[in-house]
Amino acid sequence: MFATMVLEYSLTGLQRKPMTVLQINLTSGSFTPAMEAATMWNTHVRPNVSNTVALTRLHIFNESFENTWTGSFAGTQTGATVPPNVTYLIHKTGGLRRFQGRIFQPGVRESSVDDMGLVAAGTKSDLTIGWNSFRTALEAGGMTLHQKVSVKNPAPAVVQNLTCDAIVSTQRRRLR
């Protein structure tokens, strides 16, 4: 059963809440997949996120199913952050699509990027490992991460890998 997973964050200094939207295929009969996914995010992604960012809501839904977790899992990384519209860019790979999708992870710390916006090698590696561990944990919990489901792509490819880009990205249109 394909569903949409929305991760909603609060971010210090930003009134609008950033969100990450993912497509999943629910293959297990869990009654609380949102709570399970939030716990997985807390375990695998949170250690690599700035403490100015907190996962505050995780919502999984489709036309016949809805499940929501609400709480607060703040990142653990400390230090000054860059402006809130600057994010880490996580690329999805898998399947034959040219544009395979991306995830914007807010909370870029100044110490993790240089003046040109290049992400430090250790940070890039930690984010790649954290997001892939999250993807693997989702799969183990019966929630396979997929590329976007659409009319043209009713059976999308499974996301095989998540990779942090070497340069930060901006979300200008998302913050208006």
Count of C-beta atoms within a 10 Å radius of residue 82: 16
- pLDDT for res 55: 95
Position of tokens 């940070």? 123
What confidence score (pLDDT) does residue 175 get? 43
Give residue 148's domain range: 2-175
As a whole number, the mean pLDDT across the chain is: 87
Distance CA 131, CA 90 (A): 8
Mean pLDDT of 25-34: 82
Distance CA(124)–CA(115), nearest Å, equals 16
Higher-scoring residue by pLDDT: 71, 154:
71
What pLDDT does residue 99 have? Answer: 62
Q: How many domains does the chain have?
A: 1
Looking only at the bridges linking them, the beta strands covering 86-93 and 102-106 are antiparallel
The conformation of residue 12, written as its DSSP 8-state character, comes to T
pTM of the model: 0.89
Give CA–CA dist 140/129, Å, rounded. 16
- Residue 77 confidence (pLDDT) above 60: yes
CA angle 41/44/48 to nearest 5° reads 100
Instruction: Quote the percentage of the chain above a pLDDT of 90.
Output: 56
The token duo for 142 is 């019966």
pLDDT (0 to 100) of residue 150: 64
Q: What's the pLDDT tens digit per position in 86-122? A: 899 999 988 666 667 889 898 899 999 998 889 999 9
| End-to-end Cα separation, the chain, in angstroms | 33
pLDDT tens for residues 139-172? 999 999 988 766 666 667 889 999 999 999 886 5
pLDDT: which is higher, 11 or 150: 11
